[in-house]
Amino acid sequence: MSHPRLQETLERVFESKDLLPELLKHHDFQVFANTEGLKIPLEELVLAFTHKSFSHEFQVPHQEQLEFLGDSVLQLILTEELCRRFPEYTEGQLSKLRSAIVNGTSLATMARGLGLGALLIVGKGEYHKRLFEKESVLADTFEALLAQVYRFQGLDGARAMFFLWLQRFIPTAFDANYMANFDVKSTLQERVLARYKKLPRYTAEARGEAFEVVLWINDVEIGRGVYPSKKLGEKELADTALKNGII
């Protein structure tokens, strides 16, 4: 017997609240848990995917506290692993490497790989704005899910699942080049600040669904380009400036 996909059921719930119980016990949640080997009660798993916008409309609990817990669990797991792998690194180096691995972009990458957006329950307005595709929302949902893994499978279980997912979706996370690639903006900032006593500056203007981003150093335009996001544009321009020996 085939089942309607979760988002189809969500659309029906917007029209009739009577279908809410069907949504909160949807087959897709159990399929996901079985696929990933998660031992989380269904109600608690659904909580990790319930955005506060849906909570406000339908008066059900939401994921926000789980995000907070998941962030702490993630910091502990990764800090412990980095200290084990790189005993010679300073606190500053470890902090930078941790930021390179645990940031909104990397967490959203893993969330997309796991298909979390298709399970995310958001309010009607946010659904039509496709909030379930937004990087920050996906990252928050990943943290909420990890919190539930921790609560029901313990710290060892959370550690095992996180590194399994990290290896699956970002296999180069612990490579030296991964941190260097992440840290180009910080490196450029340090060099510019040392030479000119002022920070590099980025400006951006919308160009349809993209952005034209410009890098300025010491009030001189260094480079520009059109990119899918401001963040990507800033990173690419900083990387180009460093590779070209601008600073």
User: The pTM is what?
Assistant: 0.77
Q: Give the model's pLDDT for residue 2.
A: 47
Q: Give the model's pLDDT for residue 99.
A: 82
Q: Give the model's pLDDT for residue 209.
A: 84
Residue boundaries of the structural domains of the chain: 6-181, 184-243
Report the pLDDT averaged over residues 59-87: 96
Residue 223 pLDDT exceeds 80: yes
Q: What fold, for 184-243?
A: Double Stranded RNA Binding Domain (3.30.160)
Cα–Cα distance, 148 to 93 (Å, whole number): 30
Q: Provide, rounded to the nearest whole percent, the portion of the chain with pLDDT above 90.
A: 73
Q: Give the model's pLDDT for residue 176.
A: 67
The secondary structure of residue 102, as a DSSP letter, is S
> In CATH, what class is 6-181?
mainly alpha
Catalytic residues: 71, 143
Q: What is the DSSP string of 46-71?
A: HHHTB-HHHHHHHT---SHHHHHHHH
pLDDT tens-digit readout, 8-26: 999 999 999 999 999 999 9
Report the pLDDT averaged over residues 161-185: 84
Q: Give the model's pLDDT for residue 117.
A: 95
Q: Provide, rounded to the nearest whole percent, the portion of the chain with pLDDT above 70.
A: 95
Q: Give the model's pLDDT for residue 105.
A: 82
Let me know: does 147 contact 67? Beta carbons within 8 Å. yes
Q: Give the model's pLDDT for residue 4.
A: 62
Q: Give the model's pLDDT for residue 174.
A: 87
Q: Give the model's pLDDT for residue 1.
A: 38
Burial class (CB in 10 A: 0-12, 13-18, 19+), 12: middle
Q: What is the mean pLDDT of the chain?
A: 92
pLDDT tens-digit readout, 145-156: 999 999 999 999
Q: Give the model's pLDDT for residue 177.
A: 66
pLDDT tens-digit readout, 81-121: 999 999 998 998 888 788 878 888 889 999 999 999 999 99
